Structure 1
Amino acid sequence: MKRRDLLKAAVTLPLLPLLMRSGTALAHGGSALATTVRSRLRPGQPGWPAAAEWERLKRQVGGRLLKLEPPFAQGDASQALKQLGNPFAVGDNPALTQTSGWADAWTSQPSAWAVAAESAADVAAAVDFARRHHLRLVVKGGGHSYQGTSDAPDSLLVWTRHMNRIELHDAFVPQGCAGQVAPQAAVSVQAGAMWIDAYDAVTTRGGRYVQGGGCTTVGVAGLVQSGGFGSFSKNWGTAASNLLEAEVVTADGQVRIANACTDPELFWGLKGGGGGSLGVVTRLTLRTFELPEFFGAVNLTIKADSDAAWRALIAEAVAFYRRALFNPHWGEQMKFYGGDTLDIAMSVQGLTRQQAEQTWAPFLDWVRARKDCHVTKPFQALLAPARHLWDADFLRKYAPGAIVSDDRPGAPRHHMLWAGDHDQVGWFIHGYQSAWLPASLLQPGRQAQLVEALFTASQHWGFALHFNKGLAGAPADAIARARDTATHPQVLEAFALLICANGGAPAYPGMPGAQPDLAKARHEATAIDQAMDAIRAVAPGAGSYVSESDYFLRDWQQGFWGGNYPRLAAAKRKYDPEGLFFVHHGVGSEDWSADGFTRLRT
């Protein structure tokens, strides 16, 4: 503990009995309690729960209270090391997170205790315990937070991994909405489920589509609360915009059903307001859609011979996107790296293979006609029946190199991730930034500015345009649903999210052989800064996607939520007046120290 924090705690601790009595009187008094409770407790401090109190909590949650230890602090770390190549194994360890840290920002350190929740009642017991004892509370489902919000030392973890039941509905009506909302097909997913679990139930076995994330091991609940983009968001919108209802435990320990008819402000805040700030989501119900006939991908890599050729290639890629791809059929990425290479890895839905090939023919003709641009990975358009996109058995037979399976004995057969996501397992981030790019930059009069910015940025560091993470060009109904969420309004007018990032090998504290090269990390972070400076010159005031953004973002309230932040802050004051729920750069976190233990202002 830092000396400053220790002094603050020393001043506050003698007052704790009085504050706890005041808390009882003020429990229903809005934000009054927020003016009294100043510090959360750490192990060893006076007031930290005694062994008997932890034992009572353990009985209350059916024995599912775990004492966590750093996974590499054991005498034999071989088992933990074996897990690091398998994100499913990493997720099954409550002491690990899917990201091992961020240079000069945070490192993955387990909570002191964890409730391995199996029900909303378990979650409510943990929330009550943390509130009564003034503990730092953390929530983890998938554990994918780049910002380090999936764990914290000296905290109590609500671990929802085992809450993974899924139920399909033919005609779902949110609670309290009978007669106000038409029944619709939907799926209810518990908070610990991953997107591969949802896709297996809804698409592979159910023959329908649910808008989720691209990485299959990401948790459903975390993605929805952050907004939630997947490969086909250009057609079906964000995951948050398709939320129909949520079961959530709020800071008062109440299990609430939030939808457009009951607790509408809480419901709105959960749709893109960021995870871990307003409550612990225990179940979500999302609308589902009819499947198109085909899902697929287009891949192509082109290398330019000179700066002039590279600038021309960028210009043609931008113009071609505007002419042919700026519509609901196309998503995913064009990657610009090395100062001379364009790597295309785009998703497609609602077209046949022949239609996809016809769409790309003019661009390929342009490339072939130039002597200074060369195809280094041939064009491929791969499409398959939509029902098989996440069908692990189908993929093992027809595209085994595209996936990595959970190879542990007894693992569910449908548990697989895309091979392209495998290098993120346990990665240590050097730098990560994003920016929504407005569709106005695609207009003929502004394309030259955009091209020059992309060219200049690429001289500093590589980046990718994620077209599915901007809703400009999407159908009107998808945009309307997204408008009724807390996600930054800029997403409605963005044609893409530009992401510029890099990281290194896993570097968990105490991990044998883990030596992150901080000098290299800082050098790369500086290069990323320089690349993003070029982008922001043509997109001033561009916001960021909360799940994929800069840990060090200064004006994060505006950057993540824009004009929606005051409304989110009001919901925070209503449902969590004491600030029990804290995450880095989450709603209300400006009231607390960086570690979430000391209140800075009231």
Structure 2
Amino acid sequence: MKRRDLLKAAATLPLLPLLMRSGTSLARGVGALATTLRSRVRPGQPGWPTATEWEQLKRQVGGRLLKLEPPFAHGEASQTLKQLDNPFAVGDNPALTQTSGWANAWTSQPSAYAVAAESAADVVAAVDFARRHHLRLVVKGGGHSYQGTSDAPDSLLVWTRHMNQVSLHDAFVPQGCAGFVAPQAAVSVQAGAMWIDAYSAVTTRGGRYVQGGGCTTVGVAGLVQSGGFGSLSKRWGTAASNLLEAEVVTADGEVRIANARTNPELFWGLKGGGGGSLGVVTRLTLRTFELPEFFGAVNLTIKASSDAAYRALIAEAVSFYQRALFNPHWGEQLKFYGGDTFEVSMMFQDLTKQQAEQTWAPFLAWVQARRDCRVTKPFEALAAPARHLWDAEFLRKHLPNAIVPDDRPDAPRHHFAWAGDRDQAGWFIYGYQSAWLPASLLQPGRQTPLVDALFEAARHFGVSLHLNKGLAGAPADVIARARDTATHPQVLDAFALAISANGGDPAFPGMPGGKPDLARARRDATAIEHTMAALRAVAPDAGSYVSESDYFLHDWQQGFWGSNYPRLAAAKRKYDPDGLFFVHHGVGSEDWSPDGFTRLRT
């Protein structure tokens, strides 16, 4: 566009509110032009909706429009503080997020208004309103985003928390796919449901398995759109790879069905392309599987007495993993930290307690034969019937210390968080990085460089190998389904996702006593950088997992999606050409300023 034309267009901007309300063809034409020229509108600026217009939206959504206030304002601060260690209570507050911020990156700040959606029609009303008035739009279900994508100041929030229904199917066929795919067992989950809602319905009551996240309070929709790894993804694949169909509201306000034959590019993009970039998902349908007989867990901690002993311990752990655990039976974490400590926190499926103990016997014998390695947390293997893994009543009786129930008087009985996840409620991130580690590093001739890298990494800060977040070692059908998703292709050949991270207590703006320790944050972020640099020395082109990654990642398009990014960008242009949906480092976000308010290029 020539400079003179640009100035002419800019001159019309003060008239836009009047023109947009006129309903004329001229108004529609100018409105289309405005989406590519002007910034989104903030409160107090010309074009911000009037009180009458907000009231019209409120009536349209059945009164479910909320004007949000800072969560620690006025007299509510004490009650909000009391509930900050309860992730269910945090999620039930539209002005809060499960992460309170990230040092030098972002802090949790509520939207100006929220539509507490209960139906796809409510979502359509919110999307249409944001598009017409050029508002910053945010979508939140579970609110666990480390990158701060679940909130933004001066925005309109589509809050799907109350859309939490779960329905089981014995023989589901996606719309328009009759005759092309066989009916299969599945579960439909609304966008606001948490994984504990899905697990309670599918496994505890239904006797089947659905692949979801390890943390029970994570939102189903956000996890699926990011890729989604559970504790045992090497057996059942990613959540995204098991998506059969989605209902989604796109930027034009249309409710669309997306599956392998209907809107297939939208469907593919929703399978790992990141939440909040292509539309607002309102319902997902996922395949379910037969349950194994048992689920179980193994825990162990060992401390080495010297550098030489620690290096030998790491070498034996890597070799043992490759020999005995690199298969669909095992998932979760091996941790290296403190310059001398090795910790096992793993899960298994389809093995008895005795079989798990037999599997680990050679490694334990190796440790016991050495005088320079000391067991500080004894080996423990637990197993239970698979149907009880998320059974709150069973866990209250047999493993009460493993769970933290939602203790509010009116809370559903099936709602609980794992005790190990509770410290993430409201946490403030100091640093967080991840990298896919290729399975080639496990080959006998490549293990020494990996061992050296882990030894060096643990000297700086420490690292966890999330063995369930790499699909190498999975069955062929799992690999094939994951290949047909937008997730970074490196996941297919990775044996683990390496994560180094740390954070502190909640630090919401305005929170009494909630000032983050920024000096410590800087120290930890630097140490985490050194830790991950040691691992990237042996995996120099390693990508990152979009949901668990560095906020400051430079080449994020390549890092999150690799060769899949051009196809994702094409889907973005097709379904959201004007960029209504924006999240930090989301598909198409390079066209906008970091806050998502100003378009940088068209």
Q: Can you list the C-alpha shifts for 1:161-181, whole angstroms capped at 9, x where unaligned?
A: 000001000000000000001
3-state secondary structure, aligned to 1:454 = helix
Match of 2:5 in 1: none
In structure 2, how many angstroms separate the alpha carbons of the residues matched to 1:154 and 1:565?
Answer: 29
TM-score, normalising length: structure 2: 0.96
- 1:334 is displaced (CA, Å) by 0.6
Aligned to 2:152: 152
Does the Cα contact within 8 Å between 1:213 and 1:231 map onto a contact in 2?
yes
Partner-residue secondary structure (3-state), 1:379: strand
What displacement does 1:24 show?
2.8
Match of 1:399 in 2: 399
Aligned partner of residue 100 in structure 1, secondary structure: strand
Shift of 1:11: 7.7
Paired residue type of 1:241: S
Distance, in Å, in 2 between the alignment partners of 1:12 and 1:589 is 26
AA partner of residue 502 (structure 2): N
The one-letter amino acid of 1:502's match is N
1:43-442 matches, cutoff 5 A: 43-442=43-442
RMSD of Structure 2 on Structure 1 (CA) = 1.5
Does the CA contact (< 8 Å) of 2:310 and 2:340 recur in 1? Answer: yes
User: What is the Cα deviation at residue 16 of structure 1?
Assistant: 3.4
Separation in structure 2 between the aligned mates of residue 215 and residue 12 of structure 1, nearest angstrom: 50
Structure 1 counterpart of 2:470, one-letter code? G
Contact 1:300 1:377 in 2 (8 A): yes
What does 1:472-487 correspond to in 2, within 5 Å? 472-487=472-487
Distance in 1, Cα, partners of 2:133 & 2:85: 38
> Does the CA contact (< 8 Å) of 2:36 and 2:578 recur in 1?
no
Q: Tell me: CA distance 1:327–1:34, structure 2 relative to 1, closer, same or farther (3 Å).
A: farther
Aligned partner of residue 297 in structure 1, secondary structure = strand
Q: Distance in 2 between matches of 1:64 and 1:185?
A: 34
Matching residue's letter, 1:517: D
1:354 shift after superposition: 1.1
- Once residues 405 and 11 of structure 1 are traced to their aligned partners in structure 2, the CA distance between those partners, rounded to angstroms, is 58
What is the deviation of 1:17?
5.3
Counterpart Cα distance in 1 of 2:30 and 2:547: 35
Percent identity reads 85
Secondary structure of 1:153's counterpart equals: coil
Whole-Å separation in 2 of the counterparts to 1:562 and 1:224:
19
Q: Classify the secondary structure of the residue corresponding to 1:284.
A: strand
Structure 1 residue 75 displacement after superposition: 3.3
Distance in 2 between residues matched to 1:17 and 1:419, nearest whole Å: 51
CA drift of 1:515 comes to: 1.5
Tell me how far apart the structure 2 counterparts of residues 560 and 587 of structure 1 sit (CA, whole Å).
10
Quick one: distance in 1 between partners of 2:554 and 2:399? 43
C-alpha deviation, 1:34, in angstroms: 8.0
Q: How many angstroms apart in 2 are the aligned matches of 1:49 and 1:155?
A: 12
Q: What's the CA shift string for 1:418-474, capped at 9, x where partnerless?
A: 000011110000000000000000011110000000101111111100000000000
Distance, in Å, in 2 between the alignment partners of 1:266 and 1:18 is: 35
- What is aligned with 2:577? 577
Cα deviation digits, residues 268-288 of structure 1 (max 9, x gap): 000000000000000000000
> C-alpha displacement at 1:109, in angstroms?
0.2
Whether the 8 Å CA contact 1:22–1:33 is kept in 2: the answer is no
- Measured against aligned partners, the alpha-carbon deviations of 1:223-271 in whole angstroms (never above 9, x if no partner) come to 0000000001010000000000000000000000100010000000000
What is the CA-CA distance between 1:595 and the residue it aligns to? 0.3
Q: Deviations over 1:142-184 (max 9, x none)?
A: 0000000000000000000000001000000000000001000
| Aligned-residue offset at 1:64 | 0.2
Q: Secondary structure at the match of 2:328?
A: coil
| Pairing partner for 2:28 from 12, 24, 40 | 24
* CA shift for structure 1 position 38: 2.6
Q: Is the 8 A contact 1:130 1:137 kept in 2?
A: yes
Unaligned regions of 5+ residues in structure 2, if any?
1-8
1:19–1:37 Cα contact (<8 Å) kept: no
- Whole-Å separation in 2 of the counterparts to 1:420 and 1:97: 19
What secondary structure, in the 3-state scheme, does the structure 2 residue paired with 1:285 have? strand
TM superposition shift of 1:601? 1.0
Looking at structure 2, the residues matched to 18 and 373 of structure 1 have their Cα atoms a distance apart, in angstroms, of 76
One-letter identity of the residue aligned with 1:367:
V
* Equivalent position SS for 1:77: helix
Q: Is the 8 A contact 1:301 1:378 kept in 2?
A: yes
Asked if the contact 1:127–1:251 (Cα under 8 Å) also holds between the matched residues in 2, the reply is yes
* Partner Cα separation in structure 1 for residue 187 and residue 254 of structure 2: 24
Alpha-carbon deviation of 1:73? 1.5
1:12–1:38 contact (8 Å) kept in structure 2: no
Give 1:18 deviation, angstroms: 9.4
Quote how far apart the aligned CAs of 1:129 are.
0.1
Q: After superposition, what is the alpha-carbon deviation per residue over 1:496-531, rounded to whole angstroms, capped at 9, x for unaligned?
A: 000000000000000001121101101110110011
**Aligned AA for 1:180?**
F
AA aligned to 2:335 is K
Question: For the residues of structure 2 that align with 1:40 and 1:220, how far apart are their CA atoms?
Answer: 29
- Measured in 2, the distance between the counterparts of 1:86 and 1:76 equals 16
Partner SS state of residue 247, structure 1: strand
Structure 1 gap segments, 5+ residues each: 1-8
| Structure 2 CA distance for aligned equivalents of residues 598 and 526 of structure 1 | 31
How far is the alpha carbon of 1:37 from its aligned partner? 3.2
Residue 25 of structure 1 deviates from its aligned partner by: 4.0
Q: Which runs of 4+ in 1 moved over 2 A?
A: 9-27, 32-38
Could you list the per-position Cα deviations for residues 62-99 of structure 1 after superposition, in whole angstroms to 9, with x for gaps in the alignment? Answer: 00000000010223410110110100000000000000
Cα distance in 1 for residues equivalent to 2:203 and 2:116: 29
| Counterpart residue type for residue 24 of structure 1 | R
Cα distance between partner residues in 1 of 2:51 and 2:337 = 55
Structure 1 distance, partners of 2:88, 2:495, is: 33
Letter in 2 for 1:221: A
Distance 1:243 1:594, change over 3 A: same
Output the CA distance in 2 between the equivalents of 1:600 and 1:282.
30
Q: Specify the alignment match of 2:601 in structure 1.
A: 601
Residues 164-223 of structure 1: CA deviation (Å, up to 9, x unaligned): 001000000000000001000000000000000000000000000000000000000000
Q: 1:447 to 1:243 in 2, by over 3 A?
A: same
Decide whether the 8 Å contact of 1:19 with 1:36 is kept in 2: no
| Aligned position for 1:6 | none
